[in-house]
Structure 1
Amino acid sequence: MDDKPASFSLDSRRVAATGLDDYAQNWSAHIGDEFPLPTFSAATVADFRLRFRAAKVHDVAVTTVDGVSPAQTAEGPIPDTDHVRLWLVRSGAWALGSRRSSVEHTVAAGEFLLRHAGGIPHFSLPPRTRARCIVLPAAPFAPALAGRQVAGHADTAEVRLLMAHATMVEEVRPDLSPAGVRAARDTLVELVIAVAHGGFDDVNTRLAPALAQAAKDLAEQRLADADLSPTMLARELNVSVRTLQRAFAVGGESVAAYIRERRLESARRALSASRLTVSEIAAHWQFADGSHFSRAFKRRYGLTPTEYALRNS
């Protein structure tokens, strides 16, 4: 398999006239004919204002779309492929059908759909749709899917892990070594199998980077919450605290240290950008009191919060 960099990003939101041509050219050059593109409707071709990010890791393709304009496939034959596809929608919707005029399943915002698709289904996206599609080889999923489709909410632990890993793959794909590409691909497959089963093996060390990244993504959303802790993150991700700690240890850090570091950094930015007092900032970022915050801040940055605020005011 080809291990050279295979990813691209494209923003056609301001160049609608050439957007689809640019997208098709980049797709052909970086992703390839193994994952054929559908034919789009005339209206979509005329007003193609979408932002894409795509990455190929061996026989898996990950695509993220952030649309301004609507998009719809054209009527006609669909390319014959043997793939499993997972659609996940953040906002908007992804309507799927065997014909352009039919809607057999709509993936709504906050939901996902996983199924074996013999070809690219016809689909339509309303304006402002943000979604991700992962295309995988069918063979590894024969026992897990067994002819069925799996749908559900996107906030389950296994879907969170999958999306965290997919984002990481899209971002670092050009820098991955051949061994890194293989590992990224295998982890994507394992995580999608976990979605099919509705659970994952939390002692699988291969999943440690994805688990740590999912925990970090969740922590970033909850930094100002009083109940943010290793225990809370482990509970939300449906793993034991010990498993989560082991996942962070692979990268040489601890969960508690990561939370403390991110809160300190957020507090540092607030000292420069807001008119809150040191005590108010300490309380907002869940430090026990102003003295505790000052000591932790000085250990990290070499200045007290007051000194830092005066220097950067």
Structure 2
Amino acid sequence: MQIEETPLLGRNDDPGRLTIDITVPYAEVKWAQILHSEWERQARDWVMPAPALTLPRRTNGSYRIRMQMTRMADLVVQDMYSEEVAGHCRWDDQVIAAFQLRGNSRLAVASQMNSVGAGLVCVTRSASTWDWEVGCGARLAMFALPASEIRFPRKQRSITAQQDSAAARMLLAHLRSWADVNDDLSPAASWAARNAAVELLHGLLNDQVIDDAEFSASLARAAMELIDNRLLDRHLDPRSVADFLFVSTRTLHRAFASQATSVMGYVRERRLDRARMELMSTSLTVSEVAARWHFTDSSHFIKAYKKRFGELPSALPRGTG
């Protein structure tokens, strides 16, 4: 795959941008001291401490790291080039999306190791400490945003996708366009661009994970269990189910695509099942049962009942309560 080398961050004269460019000889005994002091000098206006780095042992050549970072609303977007290096840092309550434009990277979060090659994008959920390493000549485009903004599938801390997918291309193109005009945007326009980036990231996550048959089946089962426990809730609908399960309504609907019914179809079927049980075991009237299970009126209930069970409610043996 041909990796695009277009700079992510557009103009270099943006006052809201930080550029760090450091070169340290591998053979320099005090390389760590030089790197950290130079980092602090260049990043002083951002109050951003240098990460803990480990360089490979070499006697020739120099290590170079070059980073451009731009604050856009509450996101930090970063374009980074680095020679081979390892390190760790803290990104509390953050989600990091990293586009591997060239080279290879490895990222360990909560004991889960992810290896990311050129042409992939890895989206990783927050943890207190991140251990990472990049290969020689690696180039990445990354952005971080508050973890509370992103709904991950349950039990997953990271998702990897192809950069040439339509969702990934749209997200990266949006970030590039936004970064290029960021300094000229009003606060309202900047936040609108930020919200669009969040939605595009959700689109990328949803497109990726919903193709996982195991996840799709698990999500459908979890939704059905939730629905079974909330059938009396008048406001039960796909949005409320999706919000409870931390997925989008689109993801929920796609998970039900392999089922014999839709989300609301399942709700209606289970309400009819419960209504049938009540008609057989209580003295409630058809109208009372229909209202209790949120059918618009008794005629609508009777029609739906006959379609599901092949008979009218009046054919049931009635309970005495």
Question: TM-score under structure 2 normalisation?
Answer: 0.50
Aligned partner of 1:70 in structure 2 is 84
Amino acid corresponding to residue 154 of structure 2 in structure 1: A
- 2:175 aligned with 1:162: no
Cα gap change, 1:120/1:28 in structure 2, threshold over 3 Å: closer, same or farther? farther
Q: CA deviation at 1:122?
A: 0.7
- 2:149 aligned with 1:134: no
Amino acid corresponding to residue 7 of structure 1 in structure 2: R
Q: CA deviation at 1:73?
A: 0.5
Amino acid corresponding to residue 66 of structure 1 in structure 2: Y
Aligned partner of 2:162 in structure 1 is 153
Amino acid corresponding to residue 12 of structure 1 in structure 2: I
Q: CA deviation at 1:177?
A: 2.6
Equivalent in 110, 116, 122 of residue 125 of structure 2: 116
Deviation by residue 1:171-227 (Cα, 9 ceiling, x = unmatched): 33333332232122212211111111118xxxxxxxxxxxxxxxxxxxxxxxxxxxx
Contact 1:154 1:160 in 2 (8 A): yes
Separation in structure 2 between the aligned mates of residue 48 and residue 8 of structure 1, nearest angstrom: 20
Amino acid corresponding to residue 91 of structure 1 in structure 2: R
Contact 1:92 1:128 in 2 (8 A): yes
Cα gap change, 1:120/1:166 in structure 2, threshold over 3 Å: closer, same or farther? farther
Deviation by residue 1:120-159 (Cα, 9 ceiling, x = unmatched): 41111111111112111111213x4434222111101111
Contact 2:20 2:43 in 1 (8 A): no
- 2:105 aligned with 1:94: yes
Amino acid corresponding to residue 93 of structure 1 in structure 2: N
Q: How many residues align?
A: 185
Q: CA deviation at 1:47?
A: 4.6
Amino acid corresponding to residue 172 of structure 2 in structure 1: M
Equivalent in 26, 45, 51 of residue 38 of structure 1: 51
- 2:17 aligned with 1:7: yes
Contact 2:109 2:127 in 1 (8 A): no
Q: CA deviation at 1:6?
A: 2.8
Contact 1:95 1:125 in 2 (8 A): yes
What does 1:226-241 correspond to in 2, within 5 Å? none
Aligned partner of 1:29 in structure 2 is 45
> Which is higher, the Rg of structure 1 or of structure 2?
2
Aligned partner of 1:288 in structure 2 is none
SS class of match (1:122): strand
Q: CA deviation at 1:14?
A: 8.4
Equivalent in 192, 206, 223 of residue 197 of structure 1: 206
Q: CA deviation at 1:43?
A: 5.2
SS class of match (2:142): strand
Structure 1: gaps of 5 or more residues? 200-313
Aligned partner of 2:238 in structure 1 is none
Contact 1:7 1:170 in 2 (8 A): no
Worse-matched range after superposition: 11-20 or 79-88: 11-20
Amino acid corresponding to residue 182 of structure 1 in structure 2: W
Separation in structure 1 between the aligned mates of residue 42 and residue 181 of structure 2, nearest angstrom: 18
SS class of match (1:184): helix
Structure 2: gaps of 5 or more residues? 1-13, 209-321
What is the alpha-carbon root mean square deviation over aligned residues? 3.2
Amino acid corresponding to residue 168 of structure 1 in structure 2: S
Cα gap change, 1:187/1:89 in structure 2, threshold over 3 Å: closer, same or farther? same
- Which has the larger share of strand? 2
Contact 2:120 2:161 in 1 (8 A): yes
Cα gap change, 1:58/1:15 in structure 2, threshold over 3 Å: closer, same or farther? farther
Contact 1:97 1:104 in 2 (8 A): yes
Amino acid corresponding to residue 73 of structure 1 in structure 2: G
Amino acid corresponding to residue 110 of structure 1 in structure 2: G
